[in-house]
Amino acid sequence: MARADKQEFVKAIPPKENLSDWYTAVCLRAELADYAPVRGCMVIRPYGYRIWELMVQDLDRRFKETGHVSAYFPLFIPETLLKREAEHVEGFAPQV
């Protein structure tokens, strides 16, 4: 999205009307993130990534102060679990 288009996009969306679209527009205009070539994905740009790092550092410190420990979970959900979900949720269409 061109810079002028991003600015107009932000102006066109009042946060009280659609907070999600407004927030996305602000992130685009501030160049914190941009759309990726993969549908539904965004690229976190350098300033946006730095903000993310600072948030993670602060939260990690706070969690450790209370005795919590870190863990990583799978990024991808196995197709078998999506199919099982589709069996009991009406209208669920797994997109794998």
pLDDT at 87 exceeding the cut of 80: no
Q: What is the pTM of this model?
A: 0.61
pLDDT at 52 exceeding the cut of 80: yes
pLDDT of 64 reads: 96
pLDDT of 57 reads: 97
Q: What percent of the chain has pLDDT over 70?
A: 76
The two tokens of residue 4 are 């002028």
The two tokens of residue 60 are 């990690």
pLDDT band at 96, cuts 50/70/90? low
Which of 53, 64, 54, 24 shows the shortest CA–CA distance to 41? 24
Q: Which residues have a Cβ under 8 Å from the Cβ of 47 and sit 6 or more positions away?
A: 30, 31, 32
pLDDT at 60 exceeding the cut of 90: yes
CA distances (Å), origin 59, targets 2, 55, 62, 65, 85: 34, 6, 5, 10, 32
Residues in the chain: 96
CA distance 41 to 32: 14
